[in-house]
């Protein structure tokens, strides 16, 4: 019986982590869909990649996460504003890690392909 609080905390942690991961993957997916030749590439002709407005819409996954993550959170999860803050904040952190790995992979491939 004394393990019930730990089990509950473990379940909550895994639930939040899965929500963070869902948001991160959806944001990276939206970003990838705007690449040249992809289904949403027309967004680039409507919102030019200049200035700051394009970054939270499609240009920068790290910049996109607070905006798209909030939209995704309130559509699918909408538990509380505290949970929103932790989930979207955690998703932003996961997005930073994902983008760092992607940049490191690109640098590695560029270095070893030359």
Helix (H/G/I), strand (E/B), else coil: 48: coil
| pTM value surpassing 0.85 | no
Q: What is the pLDDT of residue 106?
A: 87
Cβ proximity of 99 and 62 under 8 Å:
yes
Helices (H), the chain: 4-32, 43-46, 54, 61-76, 81-113
Summarize pLDDT for 73-84 with one digit per residue, the tens.
999 988 888 889
Domain range list for the chain: 4-113
Single out the residue of 72, 106, 109 nearest to residue 88, CA to CA. Answer: 72
Residue holding tokens 């639930």? 15
């Amino acid at each position: 019986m004394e393990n019930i609080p730990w089990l509950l905390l473990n379940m909550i942690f895994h639930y939040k982590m899965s929500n963070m991961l869902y948001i991160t993957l959806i944001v990276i997916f939206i970003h990838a869909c705007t690449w040249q030749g992809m289904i949403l590439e027309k967004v680039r002709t409507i919102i030019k990649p200049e200035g700051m407005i394009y970054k939270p819409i499609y240009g920068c996954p790290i910049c996109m996460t607070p905006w798209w993550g909030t939209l995704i959170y309130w559509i699918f999860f909408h538990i509380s504003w505290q949970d929103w803050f932790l989930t979207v904040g955690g998703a932003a952190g996961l997005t930073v890690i994902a983008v760092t790995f992607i940049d490191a992979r690109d640098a590695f491939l560029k270095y070893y392909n030359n």
